[in-house]
Amino acid sequence: MTTVNLPSTLGAEATANSGFLGSVGAWLTTTDHKRIGRLFIGTAALWLLAFVGVASLLGLERIDSKSLTLNEGMMTQLFAASKTLASFGVMVPLMLGISLAVAPIQVGSRAIMFARNAMLGFCLWAIGSSLVVASLIGNGGPGGGNAQMVDLYLLGLALVMLGLLAAAVSVVATVLSARTAGTDLADVPSFAWSSLIGSSSLVLTLPVALGTLIYVAVDHHYTRIAFDANVGIMKWLGWSMSQPQTFLYVIPAIGILAELAPAVARRTQPLRGGVFIGIGLISVALLGSVTQTVHEFAWTGTLIDKAKSFVPYALFNLLPILGVVVVLALALLTLKSDSIKMIAPFIPAFLGGGMILTAMLGNAVQLISSANLAGTVFEEGALVYISYGTVLVAWSAIAFWGPSLWGRMLPAKAVAGIGALGFVATVLAALPMYIAGFADQQADSVKDFDYSGPASLWNAVSTAGHALFALCVIAAIATAVKSFATGERVAGNPWIDGGAQ
Amino acid sequence: MTAAADRVLPAGPVTAARHPLFIATGAVVAAGTMLMFGMLAVWFKFRDASPLRVGRNNKMIHDWLPADLKIPEVATNTLAITMVIAAIMGQWAVYSATRKDAQHTTLALFITGVIGVAAVNAQVAIYKQMGAVLADGPYQTMFYAITGTMLVLICTGIAFSLVAAFRVLGGRIADRAVVTAHAMYWYFLSTAFISLWFVVYVQK
């Protein structure tokens, strides 16, 4: 079946002729893949602001562990909001939005396959994520005190997952079926490949979470026995918002890094196959996450016991790291070129990629049982590293493909500056959590933790990091809105054609 | 148009996508498989965690199915056979479409849809015969959750059959992709239901 889409220029004419309502209508009924991608990216940016705000509030409360500024009952909702928004409000929709906007262009297709399905996916996700946030504000969500709001949270989360699944199916179908005639799957650009792998991983893992969600929702609405009612939500669904599942959400981010290195080196990637294998290796994490079990490595018992514990641990947690290391190493290998010319978008991509790798390494350390990091803020640090790292890479992608999507460019200095500042903010926000984790600071708690060491200092530094990241996000949004609305129009892509540095 | 624009080469031809519907349905089938098997995995987890009791032939069995609930075996077995027949009807539609036989293709698609309705009817009959109350305990909750999800998937299959049938009825017999994708979806429904039937209704 062939999907016929109106060219985006027709939508622009309709927008110009029919005022504000017409413009909103044109956006909400669009079948233009660039617009759908931009809708995902724009809405995810708003949830990103909410996520960073929540993280800053939680950090602020942790500075003085003896007293609380906010209501203690709100803390459960804030922690749930932080985890839910990081995964389903920021990481997945940002990466999926960029995939929807860019992947069809890369494979030589004029349109995304099943564009209305992708648009339906956006609507479901936007409505679902709004319901999730509304329910959390109304004392719902995991551990929430209002039963109806807990039900609303579960409904919202189901809509979010269905929406993301619908959009992921469109990406998979586009890369697999709409390539230019004669283009083999091995010939597609690295980002298109990573979009395919990332979206396929979503298609294979989100339904498992959805199935569990159905059980939890039915149980919560009727009996509240089998799945521990509101407190059981994170126990049963927490895996979908933590590592290694989040590795799957950021696969396209690694593809962006692999895509930008040859653009800097001004030559083709000499080992494309290696890059593809590296990206594919990250998806091994899906085998671990769908088991819904934490695969810890325990250095106890006989040699066979150790081996039994090590093999699944290594398979599901170390192999994805190997994938990222391979891609990073090959990116650096490409940079060994005489024609190298640094472009601004590469800076946040490289730094963000490093943050993602740090999160993966942190997760590997956390799952060594003798490190005693389970139940500490160490895991929170890993989530901050991976989510903020993904945002940095997304910023670089928006800058790099901006000319193709908006027809205008972001200023190089702003791209590099915000990227570098965002990197500093990420380290400030997440590294103290790693250190406090070793000092045994309890996770999901803002008070009564007492350990030897400057607890207030770690939490103050982390809060400053979140606040700085919030400023970076605001600066990035302001720069993007200004540049893409009123900036100078450009033809082609000056980052690739050599016109910009 | 400017003179420069006149010199620009026109856009290339629209790329003909290769089997997009079949590939997208494949992705949906993969998602559906993960959904059902994920739910069955949680079912196994709960069943294994239930206490042991002495069953028939003095064998120790898990006390998972409440003693007051009886599985209506005739209805469940009939439903399982019905689902297999639906998949066969889906394949008949593909066979007919390959031969450009619009009459038989439409007939096969409508029969598939009707069999789907029969499956929904059978499932409702099973609910009535069992008389399980959803709020009575973990078994009942999970039973309704997993069979209800299967029911929703079957309803989407019925909708797919109707859409495919009306497309063929409207003269689009040459567009075999819909019929092939439809058959694949019903193969998935059939396989998913047989798995559910074996775990929930046979193994109990």
In a domain, residue A10? The reply is no
In chain A, which residues have their Cβ closer than 8 Å to the Cβ of B34? 203-205, 207-208, 211, 290
In chain B, which residues have their Cβ closer than 8 Å to the Cβ of A222? 134-135, 141
Residue A376: beta bridge partners?
A442
In chain B, which residues have their Cβ closer than 8 Å to the Cβ of A210? 35, 38
Q: What is the 3-state secondary structure (H, E, C) of A60-86?
A: HHHHCCCCCCCCCCHHHHHHHHHHHHH
What integer pLDDT is reported at residue B37 of this predicted model? 94
User: Among A106, A48, A379, A122, which Cα is nearest to A246's?
Assistant: A379
Distance CA A420, CA A257 (A): 16
Categorise residue A345: left if φ over 0, alpha if ψ from -120 to 50, beta otherwise. Answer: alpha
Backbone phi, psi, residue B17, to 5°: -70, 145
In a domain, residue B37? The reply is no
CA dihedral A444, A83, A143, A457 (to 10 degrees): 20
CA dihedral A153, A52, A479, A190 (to 10 degrees): -70
Interface probe for A, chosen from B14, B19, B184 (most Cβ of A below 10 Å), is B14
pLDDT band at B53 (very low <50, low <70, confident <90, very high): confident
For the stretch B93-145, pLDDT in tens is 999 999 888 899 999 999 999 999 999 999 999 999 888 888 888 889 999 99
Token pair in block for residue A366 = 């956390």
User: Among A417, A415, A413, which Cα is nearest to A394's?
Assistant: A415
Distance CA A47, CA A91 (A): 10
Per DSSP (E only), the strands in A219-317 are: none
Token pair in block for residue B94 = 């593909």
In a domain, residue A23? The reply is no
CB A349 within 8 A of CB A389: no
What integer pLDDT is reported at residue B11 of this predicted model? 53
User: Among A1, A411, A212, which Cα is nearest to B149's?
Assistant: A212
In chain B, which residues have their Cβ closer than 8 Å to the Cβ of A203? 27, 30-31, 34
Task: Tell me which residue range forms the domain holding B139.
Answer: 73-204
Q: Do B30 and A170 touch (CB under 8 A)?
A: no
Minimal C-alpha gap between A11 and chain B (Å): 19
Write out residues in chain A with pLDDT < 50, as ranges.
Answer: 1-14
DSSP letter at A251? H
Residue A126's Cα: distance from chain center in Å?
16
In chain A, which residues have their Cβ closer than 8 Å to the Cβ of B8? none
> pTM here?
0.90
In a domain, residue B13? The reply is no
Mean pLDDT of B132-159: 91
What integer pLDDT is reported at residue B14 of this predicted model? 59
User: Among A295, A254, A260, which Cα is nearest to A276's?
Assistant: A254
Mean pLDDT over each residue of chain B, to the nearest integer: 87
The nearest alpha carbon in chain B to A118 belongs to B24
Burial A117-127 (b: 16+ CB within 10 A, else e): bbbbbbebbbe
Q: Centre a 10 Å sphere on the Cβ of residue A291 and count the other Cβ atoms it contains.
A: 14
Minimal C-alpha gap between A501 and chain B (Å): 27
Which amino acid, A297? F
How many domains does chain B contain in total? 1
Distances (CA, A) of A258 to A134, A276, A325, A327: 38, 9, 11, 6
Minimal C-alpha gap between A397 and chain B (Å): 26
Distances (CA, A) of B32 to A374, B143, B152, B202: 33, 18, 11, 22
User: Among A44, A65, A85, A140, which Cα is nearest to A463's?
Assistant: A65
In a domain, residue A108? The reply is yes
Q: What is the 3-state secondary structure (H, E, C) of A248-290?
A: HHCHHHHHHHHHHHHHHHCCCCCCHHHHHHHHHHHCCHHHHHC
What integer pLDDT is reported at residue A2 of this predicted model? 38
In a domain, residue B8? The reply is no
The DSSP line for A48-63 is HHHHHHHHHHHHHHHH
Picking from A113, A207, A226, the nearest residue to B31 by CB comes out as A207
Angle at A364 between CA A360 and CA A369, to 5 degrees: 155
In chain A, which residues have their Cβ closer than 8 Å to the Cβ of B23? 172-173, 176-177
CB A191 within 8 A of CB A243: no
Complex ipTM value: 0.88
The SS3 of residue A130 is helix
The nearest alpha carbon in chain A to B11 belongs to A110
In a domain, residue A25? The reply is no
Angle at B152 between CA B147 and CA B156, to 5 degrees: 145
In a domain, residue A14? The reply is no
In a domain, residue A24? The reply is no
CATH number at residue B204: 1.20.120.80
Where does A367-411 have alpha helices with state H? 378-406
How many domains does chain A contain in total? 1
In a domain, residue B32? The reply is no
What integer pLDDT is reported at residue B4 of this predicted model? 45
Interface probe for A, chosen from B1, B2, B21 (most Cβ of A below 10 Å), is B21
In a domain, residue B52? The reply is no
User: Among A196, A185, A331, which Cα is nearest to A269's?
Assistant: A331
Task: Tell me which residue range forms the domain holding A318.
Answer: 34-497
Q: Do A219 and B141 touch (CB under 8 A)?
A: yes
In chain A, which residues have their Cβ closer than 8 Å to the Cβ of B138? 219, 223, 225-226
Minimal C-alpha gap between A184 and chain B (Å): 12
In a domain, residue A22? The reply is no
Q: Is A448 exposed, middle or buried (0-12, 13-18, 19+ CB in 10 A)?
A: exposed
CATH number at residue A145: 1.20.210.10
In a domain, residue A9? The reply is no
In a domain, residue B49? The reply is no
Q: Centre a 10 Å sphere on the Cβ of residue A414 and count the other Cβ atoms it contains.
A: 18
User: Length of chain B in residues, anyone?
Assistant: 204
Token pair in block for residue A251 = 């696969």
Token pair in block for residue B49 = 């965690």
The answer, yes or no, to whether residue B57 has pLDDT greater than 80, is no
CA dihedral A406, A412, A415, A419 (to 10 degrees): 150
What integer pLDDT is reported at residue A4 of this predicted model? 40
Helices A92-107 and A190-222 meet at what angle, rounded to 10? Answer: 140
